[in-house]
Amino acid sequence: MSEMAWIEAHLEAVKQDTEIVSEALFAGEALEKHAFETFMSTYMAGVKAIGEEPAVTIGSIVAVEDLQEGDEFDIQIVSPSDDADQGLVMAASYLSSVGRALLLKRIGETVSVKTPQGKVDYLIKNIKKHPA
């Protein structure tokens, strides 16, 4: 599949997921729903501008290094509407602090994430794009 075809298929899937998540999580909550839809519109614009260098998208499996602990592991960015078993890969919703921090980032970038356990810095080591 060409890069352009992948982007078009990915954006269509994201558009459908946005509708599902918007109704499931934000029905009757106008401000939160608007903020979510704005976030997703910004994400979709970012996907269109990715270019040739790989970037983290919804569905990507991201190899990261925890810079404080030195641990390396994979995180798959998933929709909050997914309930598929992710197997050996840790899953992070794109609405979570980890998921939001990683979206549209590239190999070699470092992200800081506020978690309930404190701030964590991750170095992005590799990105595997999910088939659209």
Give the domain CATH number at 91.
3.10.50.30
How confident is the model at residue 53, as a pLDDT?
A: 85
- Domain residue limits at 116: 61-128
- Dihedral of the alpha carbons of 106, 89, 87, 91, in degrees to the nearest 10: -70
**Is residue 56 domain-resident?**
no
pLDDT at 46 over 70: yes
Residues 69 and 37 in one domain: no
pLDDT at 85 over 80: no
Over residues 6-34, mean pLDDT: 91
pLDDT at 38 over 70: yes
| CA quadruple 121, 124, 125, 129: dihedral sign | positive
Of the candidates 104, 6, 7, 9, the one whose C-alpha atom is nearest the C-alpha of residue 55 is 104
pLDDT at 71 over 70: yes
Q: How many domains does the chain have?
A: 2
Residues 43 and 66 in one domain: no
How confident is the model at residue 92, as a pLDDT?
A: 92
Residues 92 and 121 in one domain: yes
pTM score: 0.89
How confident is the model at residue 86, as a pLDDT?
A: 57
Please give the order of strands across the beta sheet that includes 90-93: 90-93, 72-78, 61-66, 118-128, 110-115
**Is residue 39 domain-resident?**
yes
Over residues 92-110, mean pLDDT: 96
Residues 87 and 114 in one domain: yes
Local structure of residue 96 (DSSP, 8 states) = S
